[in-house]
A and B are shown apart, each in its own frame.
Chain A
Amino acid sequence: MAEEKETILRIRDLHITFCSLDGSIHAIQGVDLDLAKGETVALVGESGSGKSVTMKAVMGILANNVSAGKGTIEFRYHHEDGRTETVDILKQDKKWIRRNINGKRIAMVFQDPMTSLDPTMSIGKQIMEGMIWHFKIPKQEAWNRAVELLKEVEMEEPRKRMKQYPHQLSGGQRQRVVIAIALACNPEILICDEPTTALDVTIQAKIIELIKRIQKERQLSVVYITHDFGVVAKIADYVNVMYAGKIVEKGTTDEIFYDPRHPYTWGLLSAMPDLDAREERLSTIPGSPPNLLYERAGDAFAPRNPYALVVDDKVKPPMFRITDTHFAATWLLDPRAPKVEMPKQLRLRLNRMKKEAEEHAGKL
């Protein structure tokens, strides 16, 4: 099965460094990522871990103070006549990316729908803008397509909405419009950068259902950036956990949720309040994320890691293979390392989750 999948985005050893007044910030330090057609990959991590920067590099919309970008971002796309072509996005100039990638083949949905829409343009105009620019189609045709798109994202009265302005819509409706704009040019990859963080739970659930439905219908590949593991469980096929500019654990959703190996993933999973257990205290990850201005020898997570070994302070851990799809960067997986169990509280919770999952499977 794994061989049949067509990888359309392959990131290898990506390094990105920003220049700032205080010195250079190593925002991304060697990220590998694969995205296959029709799949959803989630990037999870705290703020400042480099999730958004990675995806902005894919879109070619990084800030101007990038001093060094190393590695490759290979994107394989289809021409209209069916030919496929592979390009390295990092090596292309801005103009080429603007014409061939942005919006046309890779589209992005941002966190805050209020700031990503233009308040002075009507909804219709904003949806049509990309189609007219990329495909040079007549205005009337673009209008019809835009109405279709609004129907697809389940907006009521699409014809009326076309003439309205962003401030006349609610937060959830605005996010639907942003998704419609992203879909306008029929992209191959949809990048969702925390699209539901600014929304309520009820609306968040509806938007996620919408993204899932559209992905299935259009066979889109989706990269979903979030810090909410609940959302990940709902939407993702593969999960990448990021910390301090690196992917520390990656695997299928089931592997990450039922068999996490990295102490950081343990911490993130146990920091979520559990709806079923009445615990006295939430378990936390002590300290706060590291400042990437200062380079550290060894594992970046070591100062916050209660299971850190001596070697963690000296040598960066490599990616250890657990299964064909499951990898984690922690010295705990080294055969020489002492046997360390995950926290008891989390172990109990995972057991309960597995049981629930089995019961659920039995019901179906």
Chain B
Amino acid sequence: MPVNYNQPPLLKVEGLRQYFRVCASCTVKAVEDVSFEIYPGETYGLVGESGSGKSTIGRSIIRLYTPTDGRICFHGMDISRRMNPDTKTSLHTQIQMIFQDPKASLNPRKIAGDIIGEGLDIHHSCKSRAERDAKVKEIFVKVGLAPEHVSRYPHEFSGGQQQRLCIARALIMNPKLIIADECTSALDVSIQAQVVNLMKDIQEETGTAYLFITHNLSIVKYISHRIGVLHLGYLLETGTAEEIFGHPIHPYTKSLLSAIPVPNPAVEKNRILECYNYKTSGIDYSKGSYHLVEGMHYVKCTDDEFYKWN
């Protein structure tokens, strides 16, 4: 589905910083000066290796952490500081999250129907019990589960079905934005494809936007409209999937792309990896600023580096 980039963005992150103070002398700077926008109905993929701060960004947006600095605007409301009750409610209903491990994120002592309906109960969105049950069943069908299974416990579902439950739980509040944090990495290849297809179908139908956080680059190319590449807390490069994969600028992005194993034995056996080491590369991320390459493709670097790489 094409995305209209002329309308105001759904989510706007500006100069987000997230520090964690470990002790008096040590502060972990997990996210440094990250800015990006997500438009309605768009899928924005955040990729990076572990420890690059991609999950932290997701958690800061949904306010599991309080951002150290920067602004997060959702629908024109500032959600990065203390919020009034109305803003809080809309944050809690209109942004939902899907976590990595479906097994760990479902309460084992609750039946599936209650897990899914919990959001409805908390926000008193349904007037009667019958209405709520009907809504839960409707969502069950939407994610490809049998409505008879509402009274099952999470352990009675397979891994792929559990992830469908998590998606159903996120969907029931009719969110505008879903943050999917590594939601396919615990699944098998064939099941992963099913879940990704389901997420695409849902987007087509409801027009929700996704923030898709993952380290699996081949999935991100497939599902995302735009991609942001993170390393050590800095957003190094952002652009549409075609721009990033077809014409990467930053050496880190290049090394990341070259590390994807290609399922073609003759090519793969002789391929040489591009090595990248931040310490020896001589690049200082904190000095860079965003340079426009073309279209929506931006790179964070200094002027000299920009000429050198281009």
Contacts and interface: CB of A to CB of B under 8 A. Distances in A.
Contact of A267 (B190, B218, B271, B276): B190
Contacts of B200: 281
Contact of B269 (A46, A234, A271, A284): A234
B285 interface: no
* Chain B binding surface, main DSSP class: helix
B125 interface: no
B152 to A, nearest CB: 15
B160 interface: yes
B266 interface: yes
B268 A284 contact: no
Interface stretch (B27-35, B55-63, B205-213, B257-265): B257-265
A232 B197 CA distance: 25
Contact of A275 (B196, B260, B270): B260
B305 interface: no
* Chain A binding surface, main DSSP class: helix
Contact of B189 (A205, A257, A272, A357): A272
B94 interface: no
Q: How large is the interface on B (under 10, 10 to 19, 20 to 34, 35 or more residues)?
A: 35 or more
B215 A201 contact: yes
Interface in B223-279: 245, 255-256, 258-271, 273, 276
Contact of A288 (B191, B222, B265): B191
B189 A271 contact: yes
Contacts, number: 126
A202 B266 CA distance: 21
B104 to A, nearest CB: 15
Among A201, A254, A281, the one with the most B-chain Cβ atoms within 10 Å of its Cβ is A201
B197 A204 contact: no
A357 B267 contact: yes
A268 B189 contact: yes
A47 interface: yes
Nearest to A304: B190
A208 B160 CA distance: 28
A267 B200 CA distance: 20
A227 B261 CA distance: 13
B145 interface: no
B227 to A, nearest CB: 13
Contact of A271 (B159, B190, B217): B190
A206 B273 CA distance: 9
Contacts of A273: 193, 196, 218-219, 221-222
A205 B193 contact: no
B50 interface: yes
Contact of B259 (A202, A227, A279, A356): A202
A275 B267 CA distance: 14
Contacts of B267: 233, 353, 356-357, 360
Interface in A101-127: none
B260 A230 contact: yes
A289 B216 CA distance: 23
A165 interface: no
B217 A201 contact: yes
Given A230-B260, A285-B190, A275 B266 contact: no
Given A202-B49, A282-B197, A268 B266 contact: no
A233 B221 contact: no
A284 B190 CA distance: 6
Interface string B67-84: 000000000000000000
Contacts of A228: 189, 261
B146 to A, nearest CB: 13
B90 interface: no
A233 B265 contact: yes
B302 interface: no
Given A271-B192, A364-B270, A203 B265 contact: no
Among B161, B192, B222, B261, the one with the most A-chain Cβ atoms within 10 Å of its Cβ is B261
B158 interface: yes
A290 to B, nearest CB: 11
Interface string A280-299: 01111110110000000000
A284 B219 CA distance: 14
B262 to A, nearest CB: 6
A284 B199 CA distance: 14
Given A271-B189, A273-B221, A231 B265 contact: no
B303 interface: no
Contacts of A47: 159, 188
Interface string B181-192: 000000011111
A268 B190 CA distance: 6
Given A230-B268, A275-B218, A282 B196 contact: yes
Contacts of B151: none
Given A233-B268, A282-B222, A201 B189 contact: no
A257 B263 contact: yes
A229 interface: yes
A129 interface: no
A33 B242 CA distance: 42
A361 interface: yes
B222 to A, nearest CB: 4
Nearest 5 CB-CB pairings of A with B = A230-B261, A357-B266, A285-B190, A200-B49, A282-B193
Interface of A: 46-47, 171, 200-206, 208-209, 227-234, 236, 253-254, 257, 267-269, 271-275, 279, 281-286, 288-289, 353, 356-357, 360-361, 364
16 contacts: A46-B188, A204-B259, A209-B273, A227-B189, A228-B189, A233-B261, A233-B265, A234-B269, A257-B264, A271-B193, A273-B218, A275-B262, A279-B222, A282-B222, A353-B267, A356-B264
Given A47-B188, A228-B189, A234-B269, 11 more contacts: A200-B215, A202-B49, A202-B259, A231-B261, A273-B219, A275-B218, A281-B200, A288-B161, A356-B266, A357-B266, A360-B267
